[in-house]
Amino acid sequence: MQTLKSLKNIKSSYIREILHVANSPDIISLAGGLPCLNAFPMRVIEKSLLDIVENKQYFQYGETRGHEPLIEQLRLKYAVDSSQGILITSGAQQAIDLCTRAFIERGSNIIVESPSYLGALQAFDLAGANVLSVEQECDGPNIGELELLFKRGDITFFYAVPDFHNPTGCCWSLAKRQKVAELCVEYNVLFIEDAPYRELRFLGEELPTVTSFCADHSIILYSYSKIIAPSIRVGAVIFPMRYLGDLYKLKQVMDLHTSVPMQEIVNQVLRDNSYATNLSRIRNLYYERYLALKNELVEIETIKDDFSEVQGGMFIWLKLNGVCARVLTSTID
């Protein structure tokens, strides 16, 4: 028995494949968004694990939509009102897959930024989406190009990472956030806002989410991989309430529910008094690393104009003019 032909077209993620190399202690990896080990709030994680082990109920089957104390906490954190639902996912990658399975069938037209997050493209390809792309400018998508695509009238959703984009580091301006939201409402296109890096701002002022301007036309995906720890695999998805029933059924099919002990870690870290202090510590940590890399790059005459400065997150985008990145990597090997 053969696996489906559609699987043959999916590329495995190169970034995931080199993880065992990237994780080696003698490597400084610039390849993927691996958080710094010193960023993890280990003291609160330890405290929460000690609490968890005292409560056998945390090891029983949990509810599909998520661990109730965490959901309550997220309602406060993101000011979620009764018109929106929350579902806890096993990382934001599962949230991307969940949205894909809820809306995309073979041939559905969707829009992504160019370039876009590899893990999302894999999910869209697997579902057989027809992936259209919009140019990413330094302050967000090219609006004229986006509106032309929206005018086709057959777009299922527009997936984007407006805060400290993976892989470019781009952060959308306020004006583009508002304009994209306006267009999504006008053309009735769903916006999928992927926000894993949003809290990692180290320069400039925090901007509102695109979702805050078009909540009824938007689904926002949060991740706790970058602000707590990735291996706990906890994310959250917030959506217009009308989608609750279908997303709930999909989550049942996908894994019944997300690990309750891991959800309780997130709950405790978010509630802890140290949360704000720790977040500012993490931001400083990434700011220092960003400065170190930037200061090295500007010293190199041939590439100093080929990258853009960023205000947060884990990525900068360096153009290698006329050089293939994969060949360069092999050469360094």
For a second copy, the closer of residues 105 and 135 by Cβ is: 105
Block residue for tokens 């695109």: 210
CB of residue 203 to a second copy, shortest distance in Å: 26
Q: Which two tokens stand for residue 333?
A: 């090997």
* CA-based radius of gyration for the chain: 20
Q: In whole angstroms, what separates CA 153 from the centre of its chain? A: 27
Contact call for residue 231 and a second copy (CB under 8 A): yes
**How far apart are the C-alpha atoms of 190 and 218, rounded to whole Å?**
5
Work out whether the CA dihedral 42, 193, 95, 121 comes out positive or negative. Answer: negative
- Class of residue 110 by CB neighbours under 10 A (exposed 0-12, middle 13-18, buried 19+): buried
CB of residue 150 to a second copy, shortest distance in Å: 12
For a second copy, the closer of residues 10 and 328 by Cβ is: 10
x/- string (CB under 8 A) for a second copy, residues 39-78? -x-x--xx--xx-xx--xxxxxxxxx--------------
DSSP state of 59: G
State which of positions 249-268 bind a second copy (CB under 8 A).
Answer: 249-250, 252-262
Contact call for residue 295 and a second copy (CB under 8 A): no
- Class of residue 138 by CB neighbours under 10 A (exposed 0-12, middle 13-18, buried 19+): exposed
Residue 92 CB coordination number (10 Å)? 26
β pairing state of 130-137 and 109-114: parallel
β pairing state of 190-194 and 130-137: unpaired
For a second copy, the closer of residues 49 and 297 by Cβ is: 49
Contact call for residue 316 and a second copy (CB under 8 A): no
Whether the bond between 208 and the residue before it is cis, its omega within 30 degrees of 0, is: no
Phi, psi of 190 (to 5 degrees): -75, 135
Q: Which two tokens stand for residue 67?
A: 């661990």
CB of residue 53 to a second copy, shortest distance in Å: 5
For a second copy, the closer of residues 117 and 172 by Cβ is: 117
β pairing state of 155-160 and 109-114: parallel
State which of positions 116-135 bind a second copy (CB under 8 A).
Answer: 119, 122-123, 126
State which of positions 179-198 bind a second copy (CB under 8 A).
Answer: 188-190
Contact call for residue 313 and a second copy (CB under 8 A): no
For a second copy, the closer of residues 233 and 283 by Cβ is: 233
**How far apart are the C-alpha atoms of 118 and 285, rounded to whole Å?**
25
Contact call for residue 30 and a second copy (CB under 8 A): no
Can you spell out the DSSP letters for 64-91? TT--HHHHHHHHHHTT--TTEEEEEESH
Q: Which of 246, 272, 289, 303 binds a second copy (CB under 8 A)?
A: 246
Q: Which of 80, 129, 170, 229 binds a second copy (CB under 8 A)?
A: 229
Contact call for residue 317 and a second copy (CB under 8 A): no
For a second copy, the closer of residues 7 and 148 by Cβ is: 7
Contact call for residue 140 and a second copy (CB under 8 A): no
How many residues interact with a second copy (rule CB under 8 A)? 79
Contact call for residue 149 and a second copy (CB under 8 A): no
CB of residue 93 to a second copy, shortest distance in Å: 5
x/- string (CB under 8 A) for a second copy, residues 77-96? ------------xxx-xx--
Stretch that binds a second copy, among 5-13, 76-84, 204-212, 283-291 (CB under 8 A): 5-13
